Amino acid sequence: MTDTDITKESSAQAGPLEFLVPYNAMPERLDKVLARLIPEHSRSRLQGWIEAGHVLVNGQPGRIRQMTNPGDKLLVQEQTPPEAQSFVPEDIAFQVIQESPDWIVVNKPAGLVTHPGAGNWSGTLLNGLLYRYPELATVARAGIVHRLDKDTSGLLVVARHEKAQTQLIRQLQARTVSREYCALVHGVLNRSGSVELPIGRDARVPVRMSVEHPVAPKPAITHYTPVRTGLLDDMHVTEVTCRLETGRTHQIRVHMASLRHALVADTLYGGKALGGATRQMLHARALSFDDYGSGQRVSFMAALAEDFQQVMDGVAWST
């Protein structure tokens, strides 16, 4: 069956697409037929439409492996791809610590994704920023210059216009943006130090980052200082202050795990859920950078999120 074997009966933009399989056509799988008929959509997306019931064959929901036959009538209701809706303003709750004509400092709650991506095309901080600050629609990535993991709470800065965004990105590249984190890790950590291990996607587990089996690793530097140790659920834990020079995905989580001191409740990297913790115990506590307008250094602090503080209150501190 060639591209011209099936004729398109209707192409009304608002309505479904209709195709008629000619009587001299050879049987062929439904998803393959659709991939050729609607090449602007990927085959995996078309398969998703079929599974969701958006493709009818002779008035009945189609199946991915179903064979089309001569005379079959195909009805396809095109679906808007999720990424097309990712930059839509949404009323999302987040705290603004301070703002200027050039930047906004946000205290991101745990559980909120910073930027839309696969599996999270809406309900992100970016969507909330566009709702509260509509002018950010004209700035790349709505002004976001760095990110926090979904389950990491704390401070990040957002640029309000392109020039401020460029300046902040250059500061990040020059490693002059100071970012300090509070972490609760497993075990007793007695001394300060630095981890300078490149980080890349884990070759064996794609959702993880790795220093042992990295794909396309990038330089990463984390400085750490133990603050105090104690017992939580009869297990040793240490409060640690971490300072970043670089900003790789999962950097603190991966580097602390490489020291055999995984973050409490960070199950992806070997941590255990102690003291009622339901997410990795990591909080971006302090942030400082050079102000675009004045050139002066500006600094901000954010107290621990309530759930993090409750876990900390449950530790029997010894030092």
Q: How would you write the pLDDT of the chain (319 residues) with one tens digit per residue?
A: 443 344 444 333 457 899 998 888 889 999 999 988 888 777 888 998 999 999 999 999 999 999 999 999 999 998 876 655 568 899 999 999 999 999 999 999 999 999 887 666 789 999 999 999 999 998 988 999 999 999 999 999 999 998 999 999 999 999 999 999 999 999 999 999 999 999 999 988 989 999 998 999 999 999 999 999 999 999 999 999 999 999 999 999 999 999 999 999 999 999 999 999 999 999 999 999 999 999 999 999 999 999 999 999 999 999 6
DSSP bridge pairs for 28: 68
Q: Return d(Cα 187, Cα 273) in angstroms, integer.
A: 14
Q: Give the pLDDT score at 11.
A: 38
pLDDT given for residue 14 in this prediction? 53
Look at residue 230 and give its three-state secondary structure: strand
Structure tokens at 29: 């799988």
SS3 content of the chain, % helix, strand, coil (to 5): 20, 30, 45
- A 10 A CB-CB count for 259 gives 16
pLDDT at 56: 95
Question: How far does CA 137 lie from the centroid of its chain?
Answer: 19
- At residue 9, the pLDDT reads 45
Ramachandran angles phi, psi of 70, nearest 5°:
-50, 135
Active site residues: 149
The tokens 């993991």 sit on which residue? 149
Specify burial of residue 105 (Cβ count, 10 A radius: 0-12, 13-18, 19+): buried
CA distance 111 to 154: 11
CA–CA dist 263, 184 (Å, integer):
6
